[in-house]
Structure 1
Amino acid sequence: MPRRSYDQYCAVARALDAVGDRWTLLIVRELLGGARRYTELHADLPGVSTDMLASRLKDMERDALVTRRRLAPPGAAFVYELTGRGRALLPALTALADWGAPDLGSPRPTDAVRAHWFAVPLMTRIADHFAGGPGVLDVVLDEGTFHLTLDGEAPGYREGPAEHPDARLEMDTATCADLAYDRLSLAQAIAADRIAVTLPDGTADGAHA
């Protein structure tokens, strides 16, 4: 299908030509966590049809936002991953998360929840607090575990625990939401015993509070 366009000589319009369709930015959110199989994407995008997801991924390949490659054996499956242009959308997603935060109250009965959905807004909050400190942090919620990479030129997140985390943060979903959307500072959460910080040697850490 030909690419749809607003046909406006405007950078905002050009950006929306590429990422303004429904589901596109949520696919970017998922792929910021690393390469994903089609089935993994579909599982973490509840509500999207298989046809819609396939169509959006084709559009994103065409627009050089994602690439598709085959894993080496024994996996031999295809995975999708962001290009540099796709990864450059991280600040835009962070800004959108901040803008949408006032509308995010308690989860509705129909709301799906995934632990890693908090990763994008959480990166900025955690990075500000741990400046010059831990570079890789495990975040443990009831819904699952993900880890944040805060140092280097490519901050990001991955699902599951890190192989060698610098610290481990355990909290409930409500605390993570309050922290991610700037309703609570990390220092306040630690002081109130809403977050448990554990260092690699297994000791609790109160130094960052």
Structure 2
Amino acid sequence: MIRKIKAVVNKLDINEIIIQSENFFFESIPTYRILKNCEENKEYIFETILDINEWNISLYLFYDNFERNMFLNLKKVSKLGSKSALKILQNADAENIATMISANDINGLSKLPGVGKKTAERIANELKNIFDSFVTTGNNSKLNDALDALEALGFERNKIYKVLKEMNIENLSLENIITQALKKL
């Protein structure tokens, strides 16, 4: 089973990534981290999953092991398959998804493509114990309120998560969290 692949990114855009490993060319859908961190004509080592079923053979590429594990966990959620899990990872950073799950952020999860409110609740309920370490339970309410407020001001949810993750929000009031986050956004 292929676990890692050393490859050169030949083409990279939102719809596909074409990589070359020796004399083989693979076409795959890039994840958020691959789109954000990779450049064309450079060599990378990707984490992979080879998925074989009765309809097709798919090689899934991931920027790192955390992203790969997020994909495997999302696939375990009832009524969520490989294509849906990959679509989620194509539109949001794996750490942000883990933070949303840990914070029980149903609103944020339901904004991911192909994820409605019921699916978001299933993801949060079935994967909560796996990602508990991302947010301390006392801060979930403040984190969600700050996210909603900053998103209402027009900021992208992934960028907000990144800024809030860098901040120590434990001893801050909601107003201070929003004010400090606005300075960094």
**TM-score greater than 0.5 by the shorter chain:** no
Return the TM-score normalized by structure 1.
Answer: 0.30
Return the TM-score normalized by structure 2.
Answer: 0.33
Instruction: Report the structure, 1 or 2, having the larger helix content.
Output: 2
